[in-house]
Amino acid sequence: MKLAMIGLGRMGGNMVKRLMQGEHEVVAYDLDAAPGLALAEEFNHVTAAESLEDVIAQLPTPRVLWVMVPHQFVDGSIEKLLNAGLEAGDLIIDGGNSNYKEGQRRGAELAEKGVLFADCGTSGGVWGLQNGYSLMIGGEKPAINLIAPALTTLASDDGKGWGHMGPVGSGHFVKMVHNGMEYGMMQAFAEGFELMKAKEEFGLDMHQISRVWQHGSVVSSWLLDLTGDALEQDGDLSSLSDWMDDSGEGRWTANEAIDLGIPTPVMTLALQMRFRSRQTDAFAGKIVNAQRAGFGGHAIKPAANKEATDS
């Protein structure tokens, strides 16, 4: 099939390359012309577009346009595509990390114009090119039918890694929960390895443990593989800081759990620990220490020694 990829960053660019494995034709566009030109030079089935009007002109109808941009730029991209000549029956797929409620709104607004919309949660990161992606897509059946050949090529395990989740919004909702679970799993690994490292009398080899667990253990996983790879390169991870950022989906998951009244303590606490990682000198810790000193007379390290304590 022939489709457009709007946004050629790490994910979008690799997805174009993955589509080449299925011999699809791709019209590639990015605000920076260089990635599209490079892809067109590398692959015969890729054409670089100079503008969104050029994208529209190069696609057969019904047009299929995959938008792979940060969530804050999706609305602007859709508006520009409409102004560039998008027509009723064409399909826009939002493959970024958008809030599912935004997807529902976009789907309803585009439906009034006769334009199809699908929201696709995309997992696989920078390894998606090699291993394929896990794709969770929401939308009406006509939209899914249009994009299904490309999804099969993009997905891992010979196309098994994609599924139609339900109506518009469901794809990003499932991806949101996926990311919340990811937070909890990552935090569990982090706490376990920190606990073992603290048991200094055993002199445990963190890298060895990660490799042993990769064979037959119930905690074997890709996350463990990545942990082992990192420990192999740097046993103490001394080149990394402990600052943990978040993309926003963990917050959306926690908020959704509150709205639905569903307990998600592991995912929510994992998010809170990311916030905690950004505090170099947490006031909350001082409050606890003040209380401990007050009721129990516990010895409290002065602030000057905090850096040494944390190392």
Nearest to 176 by CA among 266, 253, 238, 90: 253
pLDDT of residue 308: 39
Residue 272, Cα to own-chain centre: how many angstroms?
A: 19
Task: Please say if 175 is a catalytic residue.
Answer: yes
pLDDT digit of tens for each residue in the chain (311 aa)?
999 999 999 999 999 999 999 999 999 999 999 999 999 999 999 999 999 999 999 999 999 999 999 999 999 999 999 999 999 999 999 999 999 999 999 999 999 999 999 999 999 988 899 999 999 999 999 999 999 999 999 999 999 999 999 999 999 999 999 999 999 999 999 999 999 999 999 999 999 999 999 999 999 999 999 999 999 999 999 888 888 988 899 999 999 999 999 999 999 999 999 998 888 877 777 878 888 888 888 888 887 644 433 33
The CATH architecture assigned to 2-167 reads: 3-Layer(aba) Sandwich (3.40)
- Within 13 Å, how many C-alpha atoms sit on residue 293's CB side? 10
Cα 256 to Cα 246: distance, rounded to the nearest angstrom: 17
Q: What's the rounded Cα separation, in Å, for the pair 30 and 51?
A: 8
Query: How far is it, in rounded angstroms, from Cα 168 to Cα 107?
Result: 6
Among 53, 102, 109, 182, the active-site one is: 182
Angle between helical axes of 206-213 and 222-233 (0-180°, round to 10)? 150
Please state the domain extents for the chain. Answer: 2-167, 176-278
Query: In this structure, what are the phi and psi dihedrals at residue 108, rounded to the nearest 5 degrees?
Result: -65, -40
Return the CATH number of the domain spanning residue range 176-278.
Answer: 1.10.1040.10
Catalytic residue among 175, 197, 286, 307: 175
pTM of structure:
0.90
CATH topology agreement for domains 2-167 and 176-278: no
